[in-house]
Chain A
Amino acid sequence: MERLRISDWRAWCAHDDHDMIPSRREILLPIGSTLPRLLKRRLDAAGRATCDILHALVPHDGCPLIHASRHGDVAHTLSMLESLAQDIPLSPARFSMSVHNAVLGVYSIAHDHRQPLQALGACGHEFDALLTEAEGYLDAGHDNVVIVFSEGELPDTYHGYTPHPGQACAVGLRLSRRVGDGPHLAATHPETPAEPTPLEVIRWLSGSTPWLDGLQRFTQVAP
């Protein structure tokens, strides 16, 4: 079986203070510019960036899309919980978007995307899970899969209670098994399994770190 290859990638951070993302891997600003305005308003910044990344990576004939986020649109989730605690009726728009596949749903409406969509949360193992699911689609005969891993801003209430990259960020990869499509992924056992956030994935993809530790240790091997 051919190995998993990274044919392209894009990334976004709310505060890219150290120019971590190479310019050719950035999305166009302002974020959300690939969405109709009536759909854009329903998403937070990370959701909008996710849609822009998908727009840049999805081939013209489409492919399966997988979106992972450990916490999802946690700021809006918290505001709904606070409304419930105060007996304030929930916003129907917010409630309709409070599902983990909401971002892919908005993308599919905006771009009339009719191929498989999948949303994941994996308690810190999102990147490993994304690759496992992507391999499944490629093994089933799809030529490409686009995966996106994002986190939104963490409200102050949650600070100190859960791992978080410290800012809103998103990273997407187009994967295939075609020889010559880009570096392939090698996976070995890490010394200590880790829970990488999108920021660690971006640092690894841009070459700032030699490997990425998740449940496996991932290395990019040049074609």
Chain B
Amino acid sequence: MHDPSSQLTLDLKRMIIEALELEDVTPDDIDNQAPLFGEGLGLDSIDALELGLELQKRYGIKLDAEAEDTRQHFASLDALRALVEARRDR
């Protein structure tokens, strides 16, 4: 777990579980490539807003809800990690 990329992956999984109050879900249950919304983890549009707020609070990343690429950033945990690595300011 010294690889910064896998540490960030674990941090993001913990952030998702905590912010979205996913009872009974552990970091191991979240597949890095699986969709976070709809299929896969099964999150909904309110969760997307909640995650957007968490990214702003923890990493200083502001997403435009209307932008086309926002959907791609939330496609999977790997996509979310790539976003944070590219745009984090803290």
Residues of A within 8 A of B (CB): 37-38, 40-42, 89, 91-93, 96
Q: B22-49 CB contact bits vs A (8 Å, 1 = yes)?
A: 1110000000000000000011101101
Tell me whether B21 is interfacial, beta carbon within 8 Å: yes
Whether B50 pairs with A93 at a CB distance below 8 angstroms is yes
Closest partner residue, chain B, to A94 (CB atom): B50
Whether B24 pairs with A93 at a CB distance below 8 angstroms is no
A42 surroundings in chain B (CB, below 8 A): 21
Tell me whether B10 is interfacial, beta carbon within 8 Å: no
Q: How many cross-chain pairs have Cβ atoms below 8 Å apart between A and B? A: 27
Tell me whether B20 is interfacial, beta carbon within 8 Å: yes
Whether B23 pairs with A92 at a CB distance below 8 angstroms is no
Tell me whether B83 is interfacial, beta carbon within 8 Å: no
Q: CA A40 – CA B20 in complex, angstroms?
A: 12
Residues of B within 8 A of A (CB): 20-24, 42-44, 46-47, 49-50, 53, 56-57
Q: CA A96 – CA B46 in complex, angstroms?
A: 8
- The 8 Å CB contact of B46, one of A40, A89, A92, is A92
Whether B53 pairs with A38 at a CB distance below 8 angstroms is no
A96 surroundings in chain B (CB, below 8 A): 46
- The 8 Å CB contact of A38, one of B42, B49, B50, B56, is B42
Whether A40 pairs with B53 at a CB distance below 8 angstroms is no
- The 8 Å CB contact of A92, one of B24, B43, B53, is B53
Whether B49 pairs with A92 at a CB distance below 8 angstroms is yes
Q: CA A62 – CA B50 in complex, angstroms?
A: 33
Whether B53 pairs with A41 at a CB distance below 8 angstroms is no
Q: CA A30 – CA B62 in complex, angstroms?
A: 39
Known contacts: A92-B50, A93-B47. The answer to whether A37 contacts B23 by CB under 8 A is: yes
Closest partner residue, chain A, to B48 (CB atom): A92
Q: CA A78 – CA B20 in complex, angstroms?
A: 19
Instruction: Please give the distance in Å from A75's CB to the nearest CB on chain B.
Output: 14
Q: CA A42 – CA B50 in complex, angstroms?
A: 13
**3 A-B pairs with the lowest CB-CB distances in the bound complex, closest first:** A92-B49, A41-B21, A93-B46
Q: CA A41 – CA B24 in complex, angstroms?
A: 10
Closest partner residue, chain A, to B57 (CB atom): A89
- The 8 Å CB contact of A91, one of B24, B43, B44, B50, is B50
B23 surroundings in chain A (CB, below 8 A): 37, 40-41
A91 surroundings in chain B (CB, below 8 A): 50, 53
Q: CA A92 – CA B47 in complex, angstroms?
A: 8
The contact sample of 15 A-B pairs, CB cut-off 8 A, is A37-B23, A38-B42, A38-B43, A38-B44, A40-B23, A41-B20, A41-B21, A41-B22, A42-B21, A89-B56, A91-B53, A92-B46, A92-B50, A93-B46, A93-B49
B20 surroundings in chain A (CB, below 8 A): 41, 93
